[in-house]
Amino acid sequence: MSALTQGNTAGDWLKDEFGAPNHCREAATLASGQDLASGAVVALGAGSTYSAFIHDDGTYGTAAGVLVDAVDASGGAADCVVLVRGPATIKKSALAWHADNDAAEIVIGLASLKALGIIAREGV
């Protein structure tokens, strides 16, 4: 019998979301060709679609939010919900980053989120 594993959920990384219900979230579209986990840091790309945040890529240079639920858009663009503004507190160690992001780029991404009122903390 094979073991089942559960991926990241919003409860793993989203610790506090203040304000009116869903004030911090927006319905959005995840660009085609991506399969991202809940907690993936995303950037706003061409055509108002979201893509994985990659700082050294000129198109996706600023983190614009965090994907609330896992979304598989590998077969075409897919609907998603993105945490796009605060006030919100998130768990830094539970975020999902693109494999091409190094430590310095992650710092830049966290600063972009902070500017949106999305504050990353350790140990929350």
From residue 102, how far is each of 8, 53, 75, 107, 109 by CA, in Å?
21, 12, 28, 9, 11
d(CA 56, CA 54): 6
d(CA 67, CA 2): 29
Average pLDDT score over residue span 70-86: 96
pLDDT over 90 at 6, yes or no: no
pLDDT for the residue numbered 56: 65
pLDDT over 90 at 117, yes or no: yes
**Fold of the domain built from segment(s) 10-121:** Virus Head Decoration Protein; Chain: A, (2.40.300)
d(CA 123, CA 9): 17
Average pLDDT score over residue span 86-107: 92
Residue spans of the domains in the chain: they are 10-121
Tell me the per-residue pLDDT of 30-49, one tens digit each, with 9 for 90 and over: 999 999 999 999 998 877 88
